[in-house]
């Protein structure tokens, strides 16, 4: 489990397609404190560490994960948001995030609002109903608050601090980002469906 609070920006330093996709991610984390088999969210995708170096770790990514996320567009040199797995006693500064991406949203508009940037996304089919104003979403592994929802589009504001400590300062219109809906929203919607079915 994660919180959506990014704690490092990694860089893709190597990619190798050999059966599954293998990626090497350069990191500022102290890799002496990372175990083989540890989970690290990389742009919001929970990936398992399979090898370690002084300032890097390797992950193996299945074809299923590549097909459901934006990892297929990763290139050497790309920067990615990183978060270590939540430990008991850690501060929960964002919201509960599983690292299981539900779909890929597209940035369709960006505009400055004061010092912040308003970003509008198009949600993939079937996921918009789980997104609510003032609710939470994880986008590329970052816990963000939804400002407004209209049909299958929704908007968020990114403050300057978030742009500086994550990859949100790098994004442009047309970018595809990993979207994980709020776990609570998923269960509330399922409960509402069950209630409706029971009343029918």
Pair of tokens at residue 163: 């742009």
Among candidate residues 132, 128, 160, 125, the one with its CA nearest the CA of residue 146? 132
Residue 1 falls inside a structural domain: no
Residue 89 falls inside a structural domain: no
Scanning the chain, the segments in alpha helix (DSSP H) are 63-68, 160-165, 183-199
Tally the domains of the chain. 2
The answer to whether the beta carbons of residues 178 and 70 sit under 8 Å apart is yes
pTM for this prediction: 0.90
Farthest-apart Cα atoms in the chain, separation: 60
Same domain, yes or no, for 178 and 107? yes
Residue 24 falls inside a structural domain: yes
Question: What DSSP line would sit under 137-148, residue for residue?
Answer: EEETTEEEEEEE
Same domain, yes or no, for 28 and 62? yes
List, for residues 5-52, the tens digit of each pLDDT value: 999 999 999 999 988 999 999 999 999 999 999 999 999 999 999 999
C-alpha dihedral, 198 to 151 to 181 to 26, nearest 10°: 160
Angle at 120 between CA 118 and CA 121, to 5 degrees: 145
**CATH number reported for the structural domain that contains residue 139 in this entry:** 2.40.30.20
Angle at 159 between CA 151 and CA 55, to 5 degrees: 110
Backbone angles phi, psi at 197, to 5 degrees: -65, -40
Same domain, yes or no, for 14 and 42? yes
**Per-position pLDDT tens, the chain of length 200:** 898 999 999 999 999 998 899 999 999 999 999 999 999 999 999 999 999 999 999 999 999 999 999 999 999 999 999 999 987 666 667 777 889 999 999 999 999 999 999 999 999 988 988 998 999 999 999 999 999 999 999 999 999 999 999 999 999 999 999 999 987 766 676 676 667 666 65
Q: Which domain holds residue 40?
A: 8-84
Same domain, yes or no, for 75 and 138? no
Same domain, yes or no, for 193 and 163? yes
18, 53, 84: which is the final residue of a domain?
A: 84
The C-alpha atoms of residue 24 and residue 14 are separated, in whole angstroms, by: 5
Pair of tokens at residue 72: 């297929």
């Amino acid at each position: 489990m994660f919180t959506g609070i990014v704690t490092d920006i990694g860089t893709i330093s190597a990619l190798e397609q050999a059966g599954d996709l293998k990626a090497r991610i350069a990191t500022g984390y102290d890799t002496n404190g990372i175990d083989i088999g540890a989970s690290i969210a990389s742009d919001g995708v929970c990936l398992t560490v399979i090898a370690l170096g002084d300032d890097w770790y390797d992950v193996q990514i299945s074809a299923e994960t590549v097909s459901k996320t934006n990892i297929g567009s990763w290139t050497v040199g790309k920067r990615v948001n990183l978060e270590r797995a939540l430990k008991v006693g850690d501060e929960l500064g964002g919201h509960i995030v599983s690292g299981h991406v539900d779909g890929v949203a597209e940035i369709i508009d960006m505009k400055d609002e004061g010092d912040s940037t308003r970003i509008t996304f198009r949600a993939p089919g079937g996921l918009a109903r789980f997104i609510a104003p003032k609710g939470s979403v994880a986008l590329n592994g970052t816990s963000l608050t939804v400002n407004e929802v209209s049909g299958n589009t929704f908007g968020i504001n990114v403050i300057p601090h978030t742009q500086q400590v994550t990859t949100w300062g790098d994004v442009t219109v047309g970018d595809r980002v990993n979207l994980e809906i709020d776990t609570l929203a998923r269960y509330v919607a399922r409960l509402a469906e069950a209630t409706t079915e029971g009343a029918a």
